[in-house]
Structure 1
Amino acid sequence: MIWPGQASGTGQTDAIDRRIDPARWRQAVYSDVSLTTQWDDGEHSGTGKGRTPTCSNSQPSMVFSMLAALDVEPGSRVLEVGTGTGWNAALLSERFGSPNVVTVEVDADNAATARARLGAAGYSPMAVVGDGAEGWKPSAPFDRVLITASLRQVPRAIVEQVRPGGIIVAPYATEYGGEGVVRLTVREDGSASGPFVGSSAFMRLRQQRTQRTHVREYLGGKPWPADGAKSMTSTSPEELGDWLPMFAIGLQTAGVFPWAEVYDDGSYTLWLRDKAVTSWASIDYVPGAEEFEVYQSGPRTLWGEVQSAYSWWHLQGRPGFERFGITVAAGGLAHAWLDSPSHSVPRVG
């Protein structure tokens, strides 16, 4: 059973059962879309969609671009974090030989299915069940690491398992939203640094998922706007809603995340909340309006922080993903930069 992704945007179409409609299944498999293969960590069953997709076969063009960024050389030892369906491991095994590939999967059922598929196709990489955030120390050091789940922090254990000069390619997401594929080179001192090579939208690494607190908890049981202070803004929430500006905002802000409450008439409320559950903001978007109503509460002025981060990005010429990069220090802390590691992205809040 697969749920094909859409050619543009995110989300999945209806399920396709290979046994019932093999022609449509084959057409989907050979299309340039992602294929969701599991919902809700395997707890969901049936042909309908679950709440959260938790395993997929990634979009082929994205897979190939990440493999190109990985730039594996013959004889290299490669670690893949997130076996999924096993397709990436098969591609690496075909090109560089199964003995040079280790693939780690946290979900035992997915790992077993992938191992069977790989064996049936004639490949035998070391396929293990484990916490991908811990890498696979018994087979370290590696020359290349490919991570196929979105990160909020680059796991220190993985950096430590890569030879100096080795490469880590991974999707890296900010707390605020937006995500890009980063290509890090590990240095002699144990740090790692490199640029983003494009945008991406992957499922989050299970060990780094975030549980969100409901808006009502921020209001302290009072009806909106509770104790929020009112103001007006000429900055439209629409300007901030695309993947790239969200990414740029997320690189500058700490522990802030958005959520849009959409209404039938095309208007919506953009909610901003902090992870510490101390501050919130709401911005009411109305189509055609020139000013928008804002309410904020708490020690942090979240809308002010987001506006400041957006303004900085705009003043820099609205740079794309490829102009940004991150450096992960030997101690594990990361900082973002623009164009060069010496030009740090500012932090707000």
Structure 2
Amino acid sequence: MADPTLPPVRSAADEDRTVAARKKMVAGLETAGHLLPGPVRDAFLALRREVLMPQAYVRRSAPDETPPRWDLLDWSISADREELLGLLYGGDSVLVQHEGEPILGRVPGPRSDGSMTAMSSTVGMTVGLLHRLGLRPGQRVLDIGTGAGVTAAVACTVAGDAGVVTVDRDPHVTAAARERLAALGHRPLAVTGDGHDGWHPQAQYDRIFVSYAVTRVPPAWPEQLAAGGLALASLATSSPSWPGLAVITRTATGLVEARLEAVKLGHRLGDRGKQIFLNARFRERIAAGDDSSTHTTRTSPPADEARGMWLALDHLHAGLVRNWAADDLVLGAPACGSWITARPDGTGGWTVTACGPRDIWQEIQDTAARWQNAGSPSSYRLHLEPDGTQWVSAGTGPAELIWPLPAAPEQQAHPTQGPPRTEGSKPMTTTPPTTPRTGGCQCGKIQFAVAGDPDYPHTCSCPHCQRLSGAPMMSWVSFPLDGLTWHGGSEPTWHYTWPDSRRGFCPACGSQLCALDDGATSIAVTLSALGNPPDLVPVNQSFRETAVPWLPQVPDTRHHPDR
């Protein structure tokens, strides 16, 4: 018995409408400059998307309405076909799975609440990346993140089925793609697995295409590239506003080289990442402008086309999201509620309205100045070190612009000593930092990285710490002072709270971040500023005699000689 989710035998009229829709989509991609003559164009012109996606979801609720509502359309239902044809060939992303459900054999109809867990990406972005991939007959291709199987189908058409592997973490996605690709006459190796691991049994690959964004490059991807190979993957933070494209190659001699390009469009973060956004209530607060301040300036914000600057801002001052639907520049920081708008005032100046603890306008201007000093790059060097450290840089010497990528979870438990580094106006070495830990304050204005071996994680219940924190105790860990980097040009405000010891606070939100004794070669950082990493467990409690009696004390598992 035929699978009811596969398209039924169609009439000549249905076929004509489908062919016309496919040709119109391709023509629109050509007009927009996304699609160029060549094998990718030919593959898309021949690709029957209704076979790969005989069912798809259309949202019926408003963008901010809860719970969200969708209808699952089905190609076999004549009343659904016209709307589904528009979804499949309209160029936008196509939603194909709700809440991890089995895809084969579904009953069409309404769905409510939950979220979409698989989709086919926007066609314009997909064809642009496939063009860059440079597919050719006979290549070995790894497609990571199968989705609806569009990329795998194009790879099979151009390179041939025998060398194509497509991997997805969801067995339901894999099963549906395998069956529907076969209905098109393609039989790649479709497997279920963790895309971060690639697919080692078939390595080495000439091309690797990743259909979701990551915050750092999994080491398996460059390792599984063949000599002369190319891998493309979106690299992003928790913000969806300013994506980057990691372009990774392996030379004929086996050397891995990589760069990070600022791009207009990118894939969404995979299941390991959580994206931030501006919800309806936050947008309403911005529109109302309550508790805000306004000033005018002759300094304009960087142009939207200065994507390299916005990419740097996203990494150096994390937590910002842009409302692209607004006519003017509108940015918000959901974590602390800060926001900013900037609009032309009609005289050549700008009216800037801001609210919240973060000075977002100053963050933009500081980053723009550093970006310009580094040569206004649109592409950055992406360093993938053998020890797992990953970092990004542009420019040289005092003007170098640099930031680390997040460490892998397994690296955070095993930090290594890093070389001295400074940022901002001070000279900066191009020696890579080694597995830095990152942290910051509550509002995000102050961010830092520390490299080196952590020393003596402990709690302290001395009266000094109690009064400064307003809490029964504080938790600390020390790092080499020369392994500390303040990001984005912002440093704490320092206060001497003891004759020869000062503490660093965020001037915006008041978070206490660190303590530094005069003449010391190490700096104490609060565990809370580091996000309370699970591998840094306090080994002792200082000043037990002044501890509150209603909290259990930390066992002394490694007494420090100076305590």
TM-score (normalizing by structure 2): 0.47
Unpaired stretches in structure 1, ≥5 consecutive residues: 6-11, 215-229, 274-279
Report what 1:205 is aligned to: 270
Deviations along 1:24-62, one digit per CA (max 9) or x if unpaired, are 212331232221222444499964575644321122232
Letter in 1 for 2:265: S
Unpaired stretches in structure 2, ≥5 consecutive residues: 1-54, 60-67, 279-291, 404-486, 489-563
Letter in 2 for 1:143: D
Give the C-alpha shift of residue 133 in structure 1.
Answer: 0.5
Give the C-alpha shift of residue 102 in structure 1.
Answer: 0.6
- Structure 1 286/153 Cα, relative in aligned 2: closer, same or farther at 3 Å? closer
Report what 1:292 is aligned to: 353
Letter in 2 for 1:38: Q
- Contact 2:321 2:332 (C-alpha < 8 Å) held by counterparts: yes
Deviations along 1:155-183, one digit per CA (max 9) or x if unpaired, are 11121111233110112223444113332
The residue matched to 2:319 in structure 1 has which SS? strand
Letter in 2 for 1:86: G
1:249 and 2:307 correspond: no
- Structure 1 259/68 Cα, relative in aligned 2: closer, same or farther at 3 Å? closer
- Contact 1:54 1:203 (C-alpha < 8 Å) held by counterparts: no
Separation in structure 1 between the aligned mates of residue 190 and residue 257 of structure 2, nearest angstrom: 26
1:121 and 2:184 correspond: yes
Report what 2:320 is aligned to: 258
Of the three residues 91, 94, 109, the one matched with 1:35 is 94
- Structure 1 138/312 Cα, relative in aligned 2: closer, same or farther at 3 Å? same
The residue matched to 1:2 in structure 2 has which SS? strand
Letter in 2 for 1:250: D
Report what 1:270 is aligned to: 332
**Range with bigger deviation, 120-129 or 17-26:** 17-26
- Contact 1:325 1:339 (C-alpha < 8 Å) held by counterparts: no
- Contact 1:32 1:59 (C-alpha < 8 Å) held by counterparts: yes
Separation in structure 2 between the aligned mates of residue 101 and residue 291 of structure 1, nearest angstrom: 52
Letter in 1 for 2:178: R
Deviations along 1:214-242, one digit per CA (max 9) or x if unpaired, are 9xxxxxxxxxxxxxxx9977679x94796
Of the three residues 269, 289, 309, the one matched with 2:367 is 309
- Structure 1 211/318 Cα, relative in aligned 2: closer, same or farther at 3 Å? closer
- Contact 2:330 2:340 (C-alpha < 8 Å) held by counterparts: yes
Deviations along 1:239-264, one digit per CA (max 9) or x if unpaired, are 4796935423124x16x212579xxx
Q: Larger Cα Rg: Structure 1 or Structure 2?
A: 2
Give the C-alpha shift of residue 210 in structure 1.
Answer: 2.8
The residue matched to 1:114 in structure 2 has which SS? helix
The residue matched to 1:204 in structure 2 has which SS? coil
Report what 2:483 is aligned to: none
The residue matched to 1:203 in structure 2 has which SS? coil
Of the three residues 150, 160, 170, the one matched with 1:97 is 160
- Structure 1 88/327 Cα, relative in aligned 2: closer, same or farther at 3 Å? same
Separation in structure 2 between the aligned mates of residue 268 and residue 65 of structure 1, nearest angstrom: 28
Separation in structure 1 between the aligned mates of residue 96 and residue 217 of structure 2, nearest angstrom: 26
Deviations along 1:77-96, one digit per CA (max 9) or x if unpaired, are 11110111112111111221
Report what 1:196 is aligned to: 261
Separation in structure 2 between the aligned mates of residue 232 and residue 118 of structure 1, nearest angstrom: 57
Separation in structure 2 between the aligned mates of residue 43 and residue 232 of structure 1, nearest angstrom: 52
**Range with bigger deviation, 45-54 or 138-147:** 45-54
CA RMSD of aligned residues (A): 4.3
- Structure 1 331/70 Cα, relative in aligned 2: closer, same or farther at 3 Å? farther
**Range with bigger deviation, 37-46 or 118-127:** 37-46
**Range with bigger deviation, 149-158 or 168-177:** 168-177
TM-score (normalizing by structure 1): 0.71
Give the C-alpha shift of residue 324 in structure 1.
Answer: 4.0
The residue matched to 1:155 in structure 2 has which SS? coil
Separation in structure 1 between the aligned mates of residue 139 and residue 262 of structure 2, nearest angstrom: 22
Of the three residues 76, 81, 84, the one matched with 2:147 is 84
